Amino acid sequence: MKHFLQNFLLYSIGIFNEFFLEYSTASITYFLPNSTFPLFTSWMAMSKSSYMRNFAFTAINNLFYMLRIKAFMLLNVILLESALETVPDEILDHPSVKNNAKRRRKEPKSTILDVSIHYHAMRNLKEKEKRGRPDIIHSAMVLLLTDPVVKVNLYIHTINSLLIKVNSDIRPPKNYERFIGLMEQLFEYGKVPPESDTPLIEITKCTLDDLLSKYKMVLLTEKGERKTPDYLCNLGEEWIIGLGGFPHGDFNEQIYKKASERISISDHVLETQGVICRIMGSCNQLVGWP
């Protein structure tokens, strides 16, 4: 019954807001100084229940609309067991690896493993169905880091347990070849650009456990409890959203255990870009599609 009453309240607020926005905004402009802005965001962060958060978002969104302030949202995201690595030692001598390295004017061990190039070489590789798909990380980065409203604090955990931190100021290259070049540089020098003190991408010295001592992780998995994606937008800054960065198969059991919560956002099996689109769409909808 509590849920029903909460919804009743939310819908009533909704009716009021619709009415208010429809008939009142024309005459209201900037009657509050911008300095009240942090006040409201901290109120939002303080609200622990999802109901209060929803209420806060709606209120702030309408306030923003009235004041013509552009709304924003911040998410913490980690791509887990990402299929991103340099060519492993076992297959360095394979002709497809050597030819590709020669064409790129690199040492074979400095090139990125890619199943579309190294298909035959990868035949006997351990867990091969989860490896060699840098394109997944590329499209995820482009989708997560180009939204003007939803800003993402992004980490990439690789299949080899490296933890990569991506600066949210990065403009990820849209071109795949350029992205591969960037990743080759990252694995060779540990950061991009190699000489920078505030790099755009960096291989950290932390482990996944170190990161998860700072955040609680909500893992997106088909086996999780069914929720709608707006649940993820409302979680708050102590949470990090864990998405699979691999094409097929399932999370390692260790990853399952590390998660504080396991949820599923669809009845369908979604690909990584589909999951990200739903999260970004849902968060944008919550702040009124600014």
Query: What residue ranges in 66-118 does DSSP mark as E strands?
Result: 73-82
**166: three-class secondary structure by DSSP:** strand
Smallest CA-to-CA distance from 58 within 99, 27, 15 is with: 15
The C-alpha angle 226, 252, 258, rounded to 5 degrees, equals 70
Q: Which stretch binds a copy of itself (CB under 8 A): 75-83, 192-200, 204-212, 262-270?
A: 262-270
97 is in an annotated binding site: no
Q: Is 91 annotated as a binding residue?
A: no
Angle between the N-to-C axes of helices 50-67 and 2-24, in degrees from 0 to 180, rounded to the nearest 10: 0
Closest approach, Cβ 54 to a copy of itself, in A, equals: 13
Judged by CB, which is closer to a copy of itself: 165, or 245?
A: 245
Please indicate if the annotation marks 268 as binding a ligand: yes
Site residues for a copy of itself, 120-139, by CB under 8 A, read: 133, 135-136, 139
Judged by CB under 8 A, does residue 143 bind a copy of itself?
yes
Does residue 185 bind a copy of itself (CB under 8 A)?
no
**Per-residue mark of binding to a copy of itself, 268-287 (x: CB under 8 A):** xxxx-xx-xxx-xxx-xx--
Cβ proximity to a copy of itself: between 206 and 277 the closer is 277
Q: Return the amino acid letter for 237.
A: E
Tokens of 162: 């490296």
The residue among 203 and 220 lying less far from a copy of itself, judged by its C-beta, is 220
Q: Is 14 annotated as a binding residue?
A: no
Buried b (16+ CB within 10 A) or exposed e, 143-159: bbbebebbebbbbbbbb
Q: Is 43 a binder of a copy of itself (CB under 8 A)? A: no
* Alpha helix (H) residue ranges in 131-236: 134-145, 176-189, 208-212, 230-233
Q: Cβ atoms within 10 A of the Cβ of 226, count? A: 10
Where along the sequence are the contacts to a copy of itself (CB under 8 A)? 3-4, 7-8, 11-12, 14-15, 18-19, 22-23, 70, 103, 114, 116, 133, 135-136, 139, 142-143, 146-149, 174-178, 228-229, 265-271, 273-274, 276-278, 280-282, 284-285, 288-290
Residues annotated within a binding site for S-adenosyl-L-methionine: 244, 249, 265-270
